[in-house]
Amino acid sequence: MTVIGDAVIIAGIVLLFLSFIPVRMLIRHLPPGATRESWSVLVGIIGLFIAGYITYAALRWQSHETIADMLVPAIFFLTAVFILLVSYLSLQTALSLQRISRLERESITDPLTGMYNRRHLDRRMVEEVERARRYGYPLSIMLFDIDHFKKINDQHGHQLGDVVLKNLARILSGAVRRTDIVARYGGEEILIITPHTELIEAYELADRIRVLVQDSEVADIRTQDGRQPIHVTVSIGVAELHKDMESTRILIELADEALYKAKSEGRNCVIQAKNPEDSS
């Protein structure tokens, strides 16, 4: 009985030491904040348990002669098993949630630019249009196209073209509000949904972004003369949702027509789509 009691105490101490592993791994995967600090406190509590086990072992070593003497070691052992299982399951739950979050994020983002992809854009467009109609607030969209993007790919290669797209996505995402939705519409075209925004406000925002893009360096190349910065310009079509529009497709078509006009008028400019009611 004495040998069994001592073995149970040693097993409990070993299990508590093992529980440090999943807890520390879990803490590494948590962002800074109260939750991470709470799990750090648990590390200290486990340390106190270990200290208590060791103290008990020193005081009661080889003194477990009856079944009653085995009660405390058994409770210690079961507590250690519980802490190890909770620590391990918490780690697995956190990893599973991270994996699900990553998969969800990958399913709605463009892998090259990090912007939302076309599938997510189509879904959000329907949601935002329905919300704007329900609550009666304005909604506008901006459709961007990089001027002479094919020339960049032909002269410098598609890898540099990818760099241009990535940096342009970063510029656009940083220039809009958090409530705006920036998505890759297709190729070098980018669409931004701007809820609670009338046409004139969207036009002013688009023109500010146009100037920002024009003044920004989006890539560079190495030449014999040294580093050569790459600058691009964008053409932008802006359209506003109207109550008589039957589908989101019409709204996008208006923005696309305005974009086409911007490119035909010399590029590097913003064109507002005409109100369908004005042409009737």
- Global confidence as pTM: 0.71
Task: Give residue 252's pLDDT.
Answer: 94
Q: Which residues are catalytic?
A: 188
Task: Give residue 82's pLDDT.
Answer: 85
- Name the token pair of 185: 């519409």
State pLDDT tens for residues 94-134.
888 888 878 887 889 999 999 999 999 999 999 999 999 99
The pair phi, psi for residue 150, each rounded to 5°, is -60, -35
pLDDT tens string, the chain, 280 residues long: the values are: 566 766 777 787 788 888 888 888 888 878 788 877 888 887 888 788 778 777 777 666 666 555 666 677 777 778 888 888 888 888 888 888 888 878 887 889 999 999 999 999 999 999 999 999 999 999 999 999 999 999 999 988 999 999 999 999 999 999 999 999 999 998 899 999 999 999 999 999 999 999 999 999 999 888 777 788 999 999 999 999 998 887 889 999 999 999 999 999 999 999 999 876 655 4
